[in-house]
Structure 1
Amino acid sequence: MPELPVPTPADLARDPLPLRGRTALVTGAGRRSGIGHAVARRLAAYGASVHLHHHVPHDAAQPWGADDPEDVAASVREALAAPGARVTHGPADLAGPEAPARLLADAVEALGGRLDILVANHARSGDDGPLDAIDARALDAHWAVDTRSVILLIQAYARHRAALDDEAPPGRVLMMTSGQDHGGGMPEEIAYSLQKGALASATRSLATTLAPLGVTVNTVNPGPVDTGYLTGEAHAHIAALFPAGRWGRPDDPARLLSWLATDEAAWITGQVIDSEGGFRR
């Protein structure tokens, strides 16, 4: 029986900057209280250069409002850990069919010609409801942003990776789903839960497709995360459903997502992973 390879001490040593020299695009990173911002800061702290995507008109129309994109970028720059790493940012309305490929190209150019990590964090908020209230327009609007744009982003990313030489670092695709497959589902958000469920369902197929390119594909369900969208008694009710007695914080799923981007997670692909602190539905 052949002897199995054993990691050397050097293999086991932890690099404090495991993403040094890597590049990342994080979508939906327009608010400092959001998951995208937290992920971007973690990636920057691990050594990566990061391009932040934002769509200010969407956030400005929501109760929580929008942040200045430069303020968000400045916050991520504070976390930069590798010499020469940088943070760039740019807008895109991903509802348009051509927008995902343009965003991918913009990120590649801003980051110096190569993209290693794609974190598809963006989603449409609002304009949803239970089965009796939803209509075709709302379903189509959520489909365009929550699902179609993610698949088209990954398509553009895959084409970019296929054109790189063999010396390129391994690639990572990370998607976000929600709690639609747990407990009682999300009956008050039919459009959103449907589209997020589609991403979860596509994870394994995408992982198989991108494996020959040296790319892993995983999806994270962050559970309820306190990004400022709920207050008062409803906020307290959700907090009580966590064993820790508190909501998830943006940095909770960010720790998992940033780890999945490192070489430590090279053997994990095609998975939908819950990171929700034991949330009881």
Structure 2
Amino acid sequence: MGALTGKTALVTGASRGIGRSIARRLADEGALVAVHFGKDADAARETVAGIRRSHGRAFDVRAELGVPGDVKTLYAKFDEGLASEGEGPGFDILVNNAGTSGSAVIDEVTPELFDRLFAVNTRAPLFIVQQGLKRIRDGGRIINISSAATRIAYPESIVYSMSKGALDTFTLALAKELGGRGITVNTVAPGFVETDMNAAKRTSREATAELASWSVFDRLGRPDDVADVVAFLASDSSRWITGQCIDASGGSRL
């Protein structure tokens, strides 16, 4: 029996990359996992199929974030998925993983870039939590995926860093607000992880080596490196940890 047997988890942006690894890891621990995706239905279905091949339980939830009505759509599809699994309303673990990136120094920032990054990276998690609080059971877990870019100067992606910095502050406020319900709220901050999101930065062996050199281990992170930390925070073993930002960047830029 896994550490999360009997629990239900909603993981946003779970069709690929870090989100896929988180969904698989939580399912391996026994959770029923809602695999949220925005556009890539094939990838989401493959995530669900992979979990089921490993004898886990999962279903997909389609809702594009950062657009009008996104949270309403998310929870409507989530409820449909729960019903299809024979489960009642409510869940125990929320992982706000969905995000978008965009490189731009201050002179290159446009209102459109700012609005897009904040709509997906900051606004969506806020209202997903707000509308989810009546659904999340007491003693639950909220885990926000931020970035190590919030603790260093990273002018190449100033808006992205700002959007994730807001998520860190959100975590602190939520942790204090929800402590009375026994709900822990924490942030996980990866560094460079080998995913599609940063593929444009790894177009040569030299560029990849440069990104790897940020870590004291001289390698890029793997999605599982982050997923294992999330699984710990989702479990009862983390019951005395809240309001924290857990750096999962392999010691990047120490």
Give yes or no for TM over 0.5: yes
Bigger shift: 102-111 or 116-125?
A: 102-111
Q: CA RMSD in A?
A: 1.8
The 2-side partners of 1:80 and 1:219 are apart by 29
The 2-side partners of 1:170 and 1:109 are apart by 24
Report the TM-score when normalising by structure 1.
0.81
More strand as a share of residues:
2
The 2-side partners of 1:274 and 1:267 are apart by 17
Post-superposition shift, 1:121? 0.3
1:42–1:271: structure 2 CA closer, same or farther, 3 Å change rule? same
Post-superposition shift, 1:109? 4.1
The AA in structure 1 aligned to 2:185 is V
The 1-side partners of 2:9 and 2:157 are apart by 30
The AA in structure 2 aligned to 1:172 is R
The 2-side partners of 1:169 and 1:150 are apart by 19
1:197 and 2:165 correspond: yes
1:42 and 2:25 correspond: yes
The AA in structure 2 aligned to 1:107 is F
Residue among 259, 262, 267 paired with 2:240: 267
1:159 and 2:134 correspond: yes
1:109–1:172: structure 2 CA closer, same or farther, 3 Å change rule? farther
**Which entry has the higher C-alpha Rg, 1 or 2?**
1
The 2-side partners of 1:146 and 1:152 are apart by 11
Partner of 2:203: 231
1:102–1:210: structure 2 CA closer, same or farther, 3 Å change rule? farther
1:179 and 2:155 correspond: no
The AA in structure 1 aligned to 2:70 is A
More helix as a share of residues:
2
Post-superposition shift, 1:208? 1.2
The 1-side partners of 2:166 and 2:228 are apart by 24
Secondary structure at the counterpart of residue 218 of structure 1: strand
Which ranges of structure 1 fall in alignment gaps of 5 or more residues?
A: 1-15, 58-65, 162-167
Residue among 12, 17, 38 paired with 1:55: 38
The 2-side partners of 1:151 and 1:182 are apart by 21
The 2-side partners of 1:208 and 1:97 are apart by 29
**Matches for 1:11-90 after TM superposition, within 5 Å:** 16-31=1-16, 34-56=17-39, 67-81=42-56, 86-90=57-61
Which ranges of structure 2 fall in alignment gaps of 5 or more residues?
A: none
Post-superposition shift, 1:43? 0.2
Partner of 1:99: 70
Indicate if the aligned counterparts of 2:39 and 2:64 stay in contact, CA closer than 8 A.
no
Indicate if the aligned counterparts of 2:34 and 2:60 stay in contact, CA closer than 8 A.
yes
Indicate if the aligned counterparts of 1:158 and 1:210 stay in contact, CA closer than 8 A.
no
The AA in structure 2 aligned to 1:51 is A
1:80–1:192: structure 2 CA closer, same or farther, 3 Å change rule? farther
The AA in structure 1 aligned to 2:97 is N
1:125 and 2:101 correspond: yes
Indicate if the aligned counterparts of 2:10 and 2:35 stay in contact, CA closer than 8 A.
yes
Identity of aligned residues (%): 41
The AA in structure 2 aligned to 1:170 is G
